[in-house]
Amino acid sequence: MATLNRLVPCLWFDSQAEEAAKFYVGIFPNSRINAITRYGNAGKEIHGRDAGSVMTVEFELNGQPFTALNGGPHFKFNEAVSFQIMCRTQDEIDRYWEELGAGGDPAAQQCGWLKDRYGLSWQVVPEGMEEMFRDEKSPGAERAMNAMLGMKKLDIAELREAFEGETAGR
């Protein structure tokens, strides 16, 4: 018997669920669209969608299942919920930052956070960054925090240099 994922984020879109799922699947490795369901005539007086239009898209991003729902304009994404992308290298940070941020809101970029073209928030961060901040009283944590607060896209080398107390000469 297949294992059922018990925790699957459902992302509410106005009418862009399929477009967004294709966008995300094109960015993350090991990703795919698994199923698309469509609205029927039942409940049209409630959901207001045309029969045959996309209702949900089940997809995976790097093996993590998601559902995208075309639920109408009633709800919008905000920064209270975001998805973290733990990156091993600066090249990964640069790639995700560029691809997810394309067409997004540049004003919503700060400290590794960005908002994509659909209004969804992402944190593009280096793996192990939490280690720098584990002891909030350490001078290294303070220097790393001050460095991070001045960044939009995170720079692993600059954060590490600040944490270790080295002068980056920047």
Domain that holds residue 128: 82-164
- pTM value is 0.89
CATH code of residue 19: 3.10.180.10
Same domain, 96 and 158: yes
- Residue 61 inside a domain? The answer is yes
Of 38, 70, 102, which residue sits at a domain end?
70
pLDDT of the residue at 49: 87
- Residue 40 inside a domain? The answer is yes
pLDDT of the residue at 1: 56
- Residue 138 inside a domain? The answer is yes
pLDDT of the residue at 44: 84
pLDDT digits (tens, 9 = 90+) for 120-146: 999 999 998 999 999 989 999 999 999
How many domains does the structure of the chain reveal?
Answer: 2
The type of residue at 24 is: Y
pLDDT band at 70 (very low <50, low <70, confident <90, very high): very high
- Residue 155 inside a domain? The answer is yes
Residues near 91 by Cβ (< 8 Å), separated by ≥ 6?
none
pLDDT band at 48 (very low <50, low <70, confident <90, very high): confident
- Residue 76 inside a domain? The answer is no
Instruction: Please report the beta strands in the chain, taking only residues with DSSP state E, as ranges in sequence order.
Output: 10-13, 32-38, 54-61, 64-70, 82-87, 105-110, 113-115, 121-126
Same domain, 91 and 23: no
Same domain, 87 and 158: yes
pLDDT of the residue at 136: 87
Encode 109-124 in three state secondary structure: EECCEEECCCCCEEEE
pLDDT of the residue at 45: 81
pLDDT at residue 3 tops 70: no
